Structure 1
Amino acid sequence: MENRRKHHQCGSTEQKVDQIEKENRPGKKRNEIKFFKYSENDLFRAVHSIKSGEISLNYASKLYGIPKSTLSNKLNKKVPMERKMGPTTILTKEEEEELVIWILNKAKLGFPLSGEDVKDSIQNVLKQCPRPNPFKDDRPGKKWLALFLSRHPEVVKRNAEAISKARATVTKHSITEWFAELKEYLHSTNAIDIFEDPKRILNCDETGCLTCPDTGKILGPKNYKNLYEISAGKQKEAITVLCNYSADGSTMPPMVVYPYKRMPDKIIKNMPDDWAVGRSDSGWMVSATFYEYVTKFMLPWLQKRQVKFPVILFLDGHKSHLSLQLSRFCSQNEIIVYCLPPNATHMMQPCDVSIFRPLKAAWKKVVRHSRQDRVTINKQNFCSFFKKAFDAVTADSIKNGFRACGLCPLDENAVDYSKCISVRRAEIENDSDDNEEKTPSNEDYKVAKSVVEYSIGVAKLQDFRNHLEQGTCAEGDDKSLFFFGKNAFPETDAINHPENNPNSAADDTKNQLVVILWGRNKQR
């Protein structure tokens, strides 16, 4: 008996442990309360089916899993059809929708709003359209903004990438023309077969690497306002690295540029054997350094791999990449240097599109590990540490970059034109045109007038005409009929008195938020 009791106790204990593990399983919240076991679409279907007489209330309750009391309250209009929990919002549903559209459109056009900007706009709205609110000086706080974002998941907090005004003017047309000119040039030089071999398609660009990049958010005590991190080296020291990749996923040894006329022995000692070292007074890329890289490192590397010539090298139009000396050398050695569209490298350069981001992420990880080991990264040992990050870039990231830029395979349709501000502006204008209700003209009302006269009858229309001529609308009259008649009979005096239109006040109130927000947008 004792053995059985022990076995039973052990078994029950194991069951409890399994139950606790299931409750604490990742992706499942403990004590999660589900308020509704039916969707809002099911509720609308059930009410519609009952109203149309297709099914009874009892059957709808069983079919959709909705309580009878809920269906009864919805049918008797004791509660609104839309499900709403918690207190009412300060802005109406329509106003919040207009606010969401305004926020999204501003972000698409390159003028994103911060949380403080949105609070300023709401404060401006409440000042011009006063209404009861719990805000101090009509300005919402952090809690309102958090709840607003939870109600509208399409609006999220993101980090914005700064682009110049020149980049904002890039159009889809200019990029497609660039592709057409590239194809025409390659056909004229009988070099179009380059794109049949990814090894012959290259892209190079420089990037600056900080020896002490920002660590981001860290963990620390809650009651301390300021937390500090002691820098192991110079905070704003950056080293220029020239990276070169081919469309087959291969990585060419980089060139590290230093501001030395005579290179210290420690740098040469810590540099990998096949890497290139460059010199310039500023530490940035200059024409002489880039010429040295192409002639002494890039060309021998291609020859060693037995890459078929000619090859094409895509790069941006920086002045350090363009020199008469380099142009002659490349022409003699069948290297086609082709500049990407101006101000479009964020869309058209593989290094910027998909390679440098994982490279910088890997570099921050290397720096973080070096800080944990209490090792200082400086110019002397930079190359030995940077090699870990440089080797972390995968061949798939390189291939995806060339593919996304439409350079391998050669396809202008592969470019993400949504990055063009002009394309986004056109989409917004098209959406506004599609959603805008077309207001019927007086001629439209006159055309429909004969149909209405035939359908309603002469007696009722004459009675309505009398009311309309007197400028009155009796209690209980059809408001939509009044609005139609006001426009269908323009010869009456009532059409010149908008105060007789019961819909005018509501329309004015509905448009107040739009006028305030978009008027503020135009002033900026």
Structure 2
Amino acid sequence: MEKGTRKYKRFQYSDDDLQNALEEIRQKKLSLSAVSRKYGIPKGTLFNKIKGKVPLIRKMGPDTVLTVAEEAQLEKWIIEKALLGFPMHPDELKDSVQRVLKTINRPNPFVDDRPGRKWLKLFLNRHPKITQRSAEIISKARASVSEAGIRNWFQELNEYLQHENCAEILNDPSRIFNGDETGLQTCPKTGKLLGPKNYRNFYEIASGPEKECITVLCTFSAAGDSAPPMVVFPYKRIPRDIAVSFPDDWGIGRSDSGWMTSATFYEYIANIFLPWILKRHIKLPILLLLDGHKSHIGMDLYNLCTQKGIMLYCLLPNATHILQPCDVSVFKSIKVHWKEIVRQHKQKTTKSITKNTFIPLFKKGI
């Protein structure tokens, strides 16, 4: 430090110390100088706060873009989502803030309403309960599922439900659900064919684009009930011919890629699954088990599910082929039926299976 300069140490006291010091001055227990020495707070600071010249709550820097309540809600969402098995990527948090700011049209310094690295750093400083860590990369051998791991997952699920005072859900299969998505090819391989023993040119003409795949989201209960599905198409706007082919209670999703997104998943839960639950008078709350690889749990969906009594919980990673009912039993059966429907369709007509004709055919397979 150069000669003649003085290094100041700012805020070497807590907010509680400041409140206690001001209270002692008001009650005239000690003099201003004595309180300053006792708590290590400058006399000028105490004098200005007592006289109302400066706010009682100290604050540095400009106002945050989000309010204290909004940031507290973000903190709660991040922590609880991680505890349920869905740890969040920083980009997902930034995307959520961007959607909020675009919705409420609040002025902000961000490019396209999306916060950057500096905002994230300051947000983490304001919320020390949240930490940012690198994901551990593990080998296939270490990722292998063990009996102990499965038993531990069931124990953690039981403890979570007990903590939420909802352990009775496990005794009611009508309140336990599993949701997952699968892809159905418009031109699947229909199996082995018959022909001359030594004939090499075994082939069949494709009834449509060979690699075209349509995403279907299905949800089933442990009691065997099936909620209406959602079918997702790669469109900006759903063509009328496709829209009119849908049953009234099915969901129509759309995304640029044709895959499920957080927006389409929210639409499904809010407009298809939840109304179906309420219509059937299924007791709330319910448990909805999801694949841990899903990134569809946005803050809007989390808030909706929390308010309506839908408890989201992550299945054990790398074990969905063992634990997930959709993978273990339901989807295999659906795809077997779908291949049979395609085979019968080929026998009746030479017309290709397209997005326009998919829904009436798929409905026969579920």
TM (norm. structure 2) is: 0.60
Q: Is the 8 A contact 2:230 2:268 kept in 1?
A: yes
Q: How does 1:390-405 map to 2 (within 5 A)?
A: 390=366
| 1:173 paired residue among 148, 162, 168 | 148
Deviations 1:257-276 (A, max 9, x none): 00001100110122222111
| 1:365 paired residue among 340, 344, 349 | 340
Q: Which residue is equivalent to 1:246?
A: 221
| 2:238 paired residue among 254, 258, 263 | 263
Q: Which residue is equivalent to 1:222?
A: 197
Deviations 1:417-447 (A, max 9, x none): xxxxxxxxxxxxxxxxxxxxxxxxxxxxxxx
Q: Which residue is equivalent to 1:414?
A: none
Q: Is the 8 A contact 1:253 1:274 kept in 2?
A: yes
Deviations 1:49-73 (A, max 9, x none): xxxxxxxxxxxxxxxxxxxxxxxxx
Q: Is the 8 A contact 2:178 2:288 kept in 1?
A: yes
Q: Which residue is equivalent to 1:478?
A: none
Q: List 4+ stretches of structure 1 deviating above 4 A.
A: none
Q: How does 1:240-389 map to 2 (within 5 A)?
A: 240-374=215-349, 375-389=351-365
Percent of aligned pairs sharing the same letter: 56
Q: Is the 8 A contact 2:288 2:313 kept in 1?
A: yes
| 1:192 paired residue among 156, 161, 167 | 167
Which structure is higher in helix share? Answer: 1
Task: Give the whole-Å Cα distance in 1 for the aligned partners of 2:193 and 2:243.
Answer: 35
Q: Is the 8 A contact 2:186 2:354 kept in 1?
A: yes
Q: How does 1:88-167 map to 2 (within 5 A)?
A: 165=140
Letter of the 1:188 counterpart: H
TM (norm. structure 1) is: 0.42
Runs of 5+ in structure 1 lacking a partner? 1-163, 391-524
Task: Kindly state the Cα deviation for residue 376 of structure 1 after the two structures are TM-superposed.
Answer: 2.2
Q: Is the 8 A contact 1:290 1:320 kept in 2?
A: no
Runs of 5+ in structure 2 lacking a partner? 1-138
Task: Give the whole-Å Cα distance in 1 for the aligned partners of 2:160 and 2:149.
Answer: 16
| 2:206 paired residue among 226, 231, 251 | 231
Deviations 1:318-370 (A, max 9, x none): 24332222111111111100000011100110011111111110000000000
Letter of the 2:222 counterpart: A
Q: Is the 8 A contact 1:206 1:242 kept in 2?
A: yes
* Secondary structure, aligned partner of 2:365: helix
Q: Is the 8 A contact 1:255 1:276 kept in 2?
A: yes
Q: Is the 8 A contact 2:232 2:259 kept in 1?
A: yes
Task: Kindly state the Cα deviation for residue 168 of structure 1 after the two structures are TM-superposed.
Answer: 5.4
Q: Is the 8 A contact 2:182 2:216 kept in 1?
A: yes
Task: Give the whole-Å Cα distance in 2 for the aligned partners of 1:223 and 1:177.
Answer: 55
Q: Is the 8 A contact 1:370 1:376 kept in 2?
A: no
Task: Give the whole-Å Cα distance in 2 for the aligned partners of 1:225 and 1:376.
Answer: 26
* Secondary structure, aligned partner of 1:389: coil
Q: Is the 8 A contact 2:190 2:340 kept in 1?
A: no
Task: Kindly state the Cα deviation for residue 165 of structure 1 after the two structures are TM-superposed.
Answer: 2.7
Task: Give the whole-Å Cα distance in 1 for the aligned partners of 2:275 and 2:291.
Answer: 23
Q: Is the 8 A contact 2:235 2:255 kept in 1?
A: yes
Q: Which residue is equivalent to 1:504?
A: none
The 1:319/1:223 distance shift into structure 2, 3 A limit, reads closer
Letter of the 1:387 counterpart: K
Task: Give the whole-Å Cα distance in 1 for the aligned partners of 2:263 and 2:141.
Answer: 28
Letter of the 1:288 counterpart: A
